[in-house]
Amino acid sequence: MVKIRTLLILANTISLMVIMIFLTISYVQMFISTDIIILLFFITLGAGVLSFAVNLMITSPLLNSVKQMSREAGKMANGDFKVKVTEAGPQEIKELAANFNHMSTKIEGMFEELKESEKFKSELIANVSHDLRTPLSSIHSFVAALNDDIIEDRETRKRYYETILSETEKLSLLIGEVLEFSQLENRKLPWNPHHTSIDQLLIDSLGQFERRIQEKGIQVKVEYDDSLPLIPLMPVQIKRVMTNLLQNALSFSPDKTALTIRTVKKGDKIEFSVTDQGKGIPIEEQASIFERFYRVEKSRTKAGGGSGLGLSISKEIIELHCGEMGVESDGHSGSTFWFQLPIENSEEERQ
């Protein structure tokens, strides 16, 4: 393969030879003396050689830039995306180098996202497999016992059926969480807001836990601002977030304690919060609690601590609404989980 530098040298040499031939013919036709023809020949030759040298000197930085891009492109082809080229030379070369560096950065980011995605898939398979094993084993054991007709007591059979139903609901919840999180991660959940009253969502969410609240003797205190306007949101998803926060608060609240739920206006946002009287979230773990599959207590089972996706899903939903979500705790007594939503949420703001 012929190099660019070789082509330039060849082109300049041919041009110089053609010029010398035609000039020599012209000098001879002008009937100039031989000495003058020789002098003019060498002057022309010197000018041509000088022009040739200047041309090479000017094109050398361009060739170096092209060589550098070629080397870095080779590194990228071998999987090294942390490459950069020097942005120097004429304007066009600078723009080309800048575009190359931008492309390198974008590809590196895409590659990191791909690696993170592969890591997530591995974690997803491992965690979901682990979380599926317990309810499936339980269902299998109870179904086998019922199928063998070894349970004759009616109350025991009823308890077995209730356990199977409960474990089936857990499986359904886990599968739903995985599917929902996948939609949110891939940005496939359509943005379809409706102007909705937060208080109605809160009433609907609390209604799901009425029996559990009574069983644990939890005192629920609700603080609500009656002047709150309707805000644009997706009711099903925001109810999903409220349900998750309430469920977590109830799960880790001791019996006979209080639960405080607040919905207030803060500037151009509405803030919803749930405060429990549990043992709190360790300060060093508060930054990680919204990560997928993260559990504060690593020993929690599916029955006690969920799949580890609930808060991640909630955070994704709130961010889809251009809101914020967080937790406040001294690490010893009680936690407050909150989220804020903008009162006005236009398509331009979301982009």
According to the model, what pLDDT value does residue 117 have?
66
pLDDT for position 338: 95
Closest CA to 178 of 235, 138, 132: 132
193 contacts 234 by C-beta, under 8 angstroms: yes
For residues 176-201, b (16+ Cβ closer than 10 Å) or e, as one string? ebbebbeebbeeebeeebeebebeeb
pLDDT in tens, the chain (351 residues): 556 666 666 777 777 777 777 777 776 677 667 777 677 777 777 777 777 777 767 677 777 777 777 777 777 777 777 777 777 766 767 777 778 778 788 877 777 777 776 776 666 666 666 667 777 877 888 788 777 777 777 788 888 888 888 778 777 767 776 766 666 666 666 778 889 988 889 888 888 888 889 889 999 999 988 888 899 998 988 988 998 899 889 988 999 999 999 999 988 899 999 999 988 888 888 888 887 666 555 444 444 445 567 788 888 889 888 999 999 998 888 899 999 999 886 554 544
pTM for this prediction: 0.56
Alpha helices, DSSP H only, in the chain? 4-29, 34-77, 91-147, 154-185, 198-207, 210-216, 235-251, 302-305, 310-320, 347-350
DSSP assigned state of 146: H
Q: Would you say 281 and 331 are in contact if contact means Cβ atoms under 8 Å apart?
A: yes
| pLDDT the model gives residue 304 | 45
Q: At which residue do the structure tokens 């599959």 appear?
A: 293
- Give Cα 333 to chain centroid, integer Å: 33
Q: Tell me, rounded to whole angstroms, the distance of Cα 313 from its chain centroid.
A: 13
Query: What pLDDT shows up at residue 242?
Result: 92
User: What is the pLDDT, as a whole number, of residue 263?
Assistant: 92
What pLDDT is attached to residue 335? 92
CA–CA separation, 280 and 331 (whole Å): 5
The pLDDT score that the predictor gives to residue 300 is 41
Supply the pLDDT for residue 124: 64
Cβ neighbours for 308, distance < 8 A, ≥ 6 positions apart: 127, 292, 293, 294, 295
Residue 301 confidence (pLDDT): 42
